[in-house]
Structure formats: structure tokens, C-alpha cells
Amino acid sequence: MLLALALAQPARAADGEIRVERPAAGKSLVIDTEPGRRYVIAFDPNEAQVRIEGQNFVLVFADGARIAFRKYILLARSGQAPPLRVGDVDLDPDVILGQAVVLSGAQAGSQTGARPSGVTETAPVSVRYAGRGFLLPCESAPEGHGLYSYLLFKLAPQEARGAARTRLKAAIGGFLEETDAIAELEARGVPRSEIDALYAPVDPFGWDLDCATAPLGDGERMAYRSAHERLSGGMIAQYEAMHGRYDVARARRLLQMLGLGGEGPYILSAPAPILDAEEVARDRVVVQDLSRVPARLIRSWVVRFKDRIARRSGGAKQMSEVLTGLRKDLADVAAASGYDERAIAGALGMLPDVRE
């Protein structure tokens, strides 16, 4: 997702076409991709470089201008992505999904049906997805995700006041509205291994459960199924769960074990589930302490984090890669928002007393 203070808007044309103009220097054009439309590239593609960032198809210009087709890659996977027209040629969405297409010299006068001159193809790009989920009491995150992240609060949202409440509300908004549900991604055919999960613990029951020794009974399992059905039923139920049923006790246990004493909210990321772990490989956990981030930037921060983990390569050095990338993003966020990067640099790091 692109972080900019001023966003241009695409111009709509007749017959389902949307004309995409080049933004001014330093500006960003964010397009909510709509199936059934055709997006007409109304500038010289030679000016742009192509990136696939998470679910977004992004054109980047040397002067800092950017165009992002939001969720284009996700739509392409499900066969719903609209074509992008360069001159008289529609670029096939399957090509954009499977490969990074470099628009390095397409001519407006290319003949219909022919590949534009100067269009080249790179090796296939690994496209990853960041998805959100909820963990009920005693539930563990399922195995198979590429990365496990957790949105953790030390204060219950309904009890927080002032700036702390504002930060929590911003984090919840970013979590719910700027990520896709894991279940939705899997229903569209995205393998779990390509989904980097961001979980939040919630407790809609208030039961006193001993997760270590007492298995769930039939009635409890039925209640769990009903709770998950409610959570998957719409945004209202999810907002209610995050604001009124967030499992702050479970979050506090992990934060206390890891020696994280700040007010938060926190985002913790690791290559394996850690929420209820007795031991954690501390040098493989990336910590984001959002109490050090201005409240008005937190939602954008969640978006940038989502897109950053979706672009990671994985492997043994993946946590260092995530941290290094986020530090670069931090500088971009600070510059775009008029903040001194040094003032919020402490928001990022590995666990206390541990170096990479």
C-alpha cells in the first residue's frame, strides 16, 4: 500500500474504461481495482518500473510518483482482474499475475492483438499475501503459514483513555480494514504457505478454561464454531470482538514473558507460532511498539507492514529481511508525514537485549 498525504484520482471514461494519468512528482494514485473495467494507461510506460507488492500491481516513477492497482494480483488469481490497456493492446492479467511485466517502451500505435514493442518479461514472481485471523481461547494458529504475526494490546480497548485509546482504535482499523481475512484468501485458492498471518486473540465467552489439561467438550466446540461463524459474518461482528472481547490477558502473558513493558499496541512477528509458547527463539522475533508511533500514522503503519511482509523472500534470514525492510519503510513514512525519523526509530527492533 502506498503512503502519501495527497492522492490523485483516476479519470473515468465511457463504456467501463478508466483513464489512468501519470501522477505529479511525489504523488500517489491508488486505484481500487474493479472487475469488469478496463484501465487505460494514458502515459508513456517507458517512464515507469513495475513492482508486484503484496496483492498490488504498482508502477513506480523516477520522480517519486507511484500508481497502485489495489488487490489486482488477488483478482488475477481468481480470474476477475480487468485488463490494463497500453496503446491498442490489452495486457493479459495472467501475465501480470505470473510474471513481473516491465513496461519499458510500449508504443501508443501498436497494432491490436500484437505484443507491444519493448514489453519484456522477468522470471516468475513469488506473490505472498497478508491475511488476518482471530484466535479464540486455547486455539493455536494452524501450521503452514509463512510468517506469524500478532496484534497485541496491554490495555483492553474499552478501558483505554486518551492517546492510548486513539492508538488502539487506529490499530484495530488497520487490522480489520486494510487486510484480507485468511479464510477469504484460502477460499480463493491461495495456499496457506503463501499467506503471512496476522492474528488477534479474542474471548467472546469469558470462561475459565485450563487449556493445558482440559480438552474442550461438545458444547464448547459448538460454541467455538458459532463464534467463528459470527466473526466471519461481517465487519460489525469483528469490530465488536476487537473492541469488547479482545483477550488482553492472553496478550499480556506473552508480552510479560518477552519483557515488553511498554503501553503498546505491539505487533510481534516470528517464523513460527509464539502466542502461547513456553519458550521463544528471541533472536527471530521482530517487535513493533506502536506506542512510539504517532496515532495518526498507525493505520498507515499497519498497511506498510502488511505489504512489507508480503514482499519478503522467506528463508533463514527472513526476520532480518523484514526488519531491514521495515526500517526503510519507517524512513519513508516519516518523510511523507513530516516527522523526524529518529523520533520514532525506537518503534522497531528485535526483542530486548538481543541483536541480529
CA–CA dist 330, 341 (Å, integer): 7
pLDDT tens for each residue of 34-85:
888 888 888 887 787 777 776 788 888 888 888 988 888 778 777 788 888 8
pLDDT tens for each residue of 161-209:
898 899 999 999 989 988 889 998 888 788 888 888 999 999 998 887 7
pLDDT tens for each residue of 86-100:
776 777 676 565 444
Query: How many other C-beta atoms are found inside a 10 Å radius of the C-beta of residue 229?
Result: 10
Residue 56 pairs in a beta bridge with 53
User: How many helical (H) and strand (E) elements, i.e. helices and strands, does the chain have?
Assistant: 10, 19
What is the mean pLDDT of the segment spanning 248-268? 90
Phi/psi region, residue 133 (left: phi>0; alpha: psi -120 to 50; beta: rest), is beta
Sequence-ordered list of residues with C-beta below 8 angstroms from that of 229, at least 6 positions apart, any chain: none
Q: What are phi and psi of 117, to 5 degrees?
A: -65, 140
Q: Is the Cβ–Cβ distance between 136 and 227 less than 8 Å?
A: yes
Residue 249: predicted pLDDT: 93
Sequence-ordered list of residues with C-beta below 8 angstroms from that of 121, at least 6 positions apart, any chain: 95, 99, 100, 101, 102
Q: Which cell goes with 122?
A: 522477468
Residue 216: predicted pLDDT: 73
Q: What are phi and psi of 212, to 5 degrees?
A: -75, -30
Phi/psi region, residue 349 (left: phi>0; alpha: psi -120 to 50; beta: rest), is left
Task: Report the range out of 29-33, 70-74, 246-250, 332-336 with the highest average pLDDT.
Answer: 246-250
pLDDT tens for each residue of 90-147:
776 765 654 443 332 332 233 333 333 333 333 333 456 788 999 999 899 999 998 8
Report cis status (omega within 30 of 0) of the bond before 265. Answer: yes
pLDDT tens for each residue of 262-279:
888 999 988 889 998 888
The gap from C-alpha 3 to its chain's centroid, in whole angstroms, comes to 13
pLDDT tens for each residue of 317-345:
566 777 777 777 766 766 666 666 665 66
